[in-house]
Amino acid sequence: MPADPAPEHATEPATEPATEHAAEAAGPYPVDPRARERRIGAGLGWLATWSWRWVGVAIAAAVLGWLVGILWPAIFPVFLALILASVLQPASNLVVRRLRAPRSLAAALVLLGSLALVGVGVAAIAPSVAGQGDQIASDASEGLERLEEWAVERELVTEEQVTDALADGRQRLQDSAGSIANGLLSGVNAVTSGLVTLALTLVLTFLFLKDGHRFRPWAARMTGPRVGEHLDRVLDQVWTTLGGFVRTQAIVSFIDAVLIGIALAVVGVPLAVPLAVLTFFGGFVPILGAFVAGALAVLVALVSVGFQGALIILAAIIIVQQLEGNVLQPWLQSRAMQLHAGVVILAVTLGSTLFGIAGAFLAVPVAAMAAVVLRYLSGLADPPTYATEPRGEA
């Protein structure tokens, strides 16, 4: 009899386990051999899309900066007027409520009263500051020379390095002599422009105090019901932030000036009053202004009362700055600004580079207002959260 053919299912046990294992490894869904390249392509497409968006944002920022530079003579008094109006508006509103006066009269009374207070203060301190300004500059220069001698004696730097640095400074002054002369010749134009800016700022401040309450409703009507509601909220937060920042910065600067002035008077520095005034105004340029005013105070103390007195003043300035940074500013400005110190430094540096002293003064308020807008937009971008109340017994 012929041998029975081998059954077909004899080989099945050898292949079945491998097939089942491969199916289990593949999972319940079919494997797409091009899934990896599709994921990479999708990621690159997302990156390219957002890169072009950021390029568009950078171009828009550059165009905006160019426009601000061109329109700066008109923008600068507007910013100054907004800052003054944000500070004076509570007083104007108080006059309107208590005396039931028209807004135009209240704005005029508050503005004239503020100018009178500032005039009295300037008249009280101007003689001492103006009479001792040259002395401060002379003492600061002499203090730098003493520091150079001290560093050379202790071999921290060589006398050749100091000589080379001084020669380089003199050469730069000689190279820029032409531009300095041109600047002196244009001094009359600068004074005239300053007076025009001051007059325009005061007029705009009066108008903002008088009619500023109408701007937000007008802006809401012009932008429509959907955008107008958000714009009204943002403008309210920006206005509150601007006024709170300026008022709290003035309080912080005043406290710093008083404490450092007391330390200068106790040590016996003869220029305590003008240095305290410089400290007050330097406080409106955060971080950098306090650093420059403190350095001047230490140099003047070094010349006036010696090395030990300068060390005492340096210690007092460090203590006051720590008190300001760790107590006063977090307490007074936590609701007004909420900006990191690094952001403040970058804003002041950028503002001073682009627009000089005026840019350094306005940099932090502008950065604070921009931060308010970004926080509001970030809140709109977050998904809504639904609070669930804990279930209690009926």
Amino acid at 54: W
pLDDT score for 30? 57
Contacts of residue 173, defined as CB under 8 A and 6 or more positions apart, other chains included, come to 180
* Gyration radius of the chain's alpha carbons: 33
Q: Write down the pLDDT at residue 133.
A: 54
Residue with tokens 């046990």: 13
- pLDDT tens per residue across span 361-393: 778 788 888 888 888 888 887 766 544 444 444
Are 257 and 280 within 8 A, CB to CB? yes
- In the chain the first and final C-alpha atoms are separated, in Å, by 91
114 burial level (CB within 10 Å; 0-12, 13-18, 19+)? middle
Dihedral, 203, 204, 210, 212 alpha carbons, nearest 10: 180
Q: Which amino acid is at 305?
A: V
254 pLDDT more than 80:
yes
pTM for the model stands at 0.63
For residue 171, give the 3-state DSSP assignment: helix
Retrieve residue 219's tokens.
Answer: 């802006």
**Do residues 287 and 295 lie in contact, with contact meaning Cβ atoms separated by under 8 Å?**
no
User: What per-residue confidence (pLDDT) applies to 387?
Assistant: 44
- Higher confidence at residue 189 or residue 305? 305
For 4-18, 148-162, 204-218, 295-309, which range has the lowest pLDDT when averaged over its residues?
4-18
**Contact of 316 with 263, CB cutoff 8 Å:** yes
pLDDT digits (tens, 9 = 90+) for 68-92: 888 888 888 888 888 888 888 888 8
Distance CA 162, CA 192 (A): 41
Helix/strand/coil for 385: coil
**332 Cβ contact list (under 8 Å, min separation 6):** 248, 251, 252
Round to whole Å and give the CA distance between 228 and 224.
5
Torsion of CA 220, 223, 226, 228, to 10 degrees: -20
Judge contact between 344 and 324, C-beta under 8 A: no
Structure tokens at 125: 């301190």
Q: How far, in Å, CA of 104 to CA of 96, rounded?
A: 9
Q: Which residue has the tokens 């008083």?
A: 258
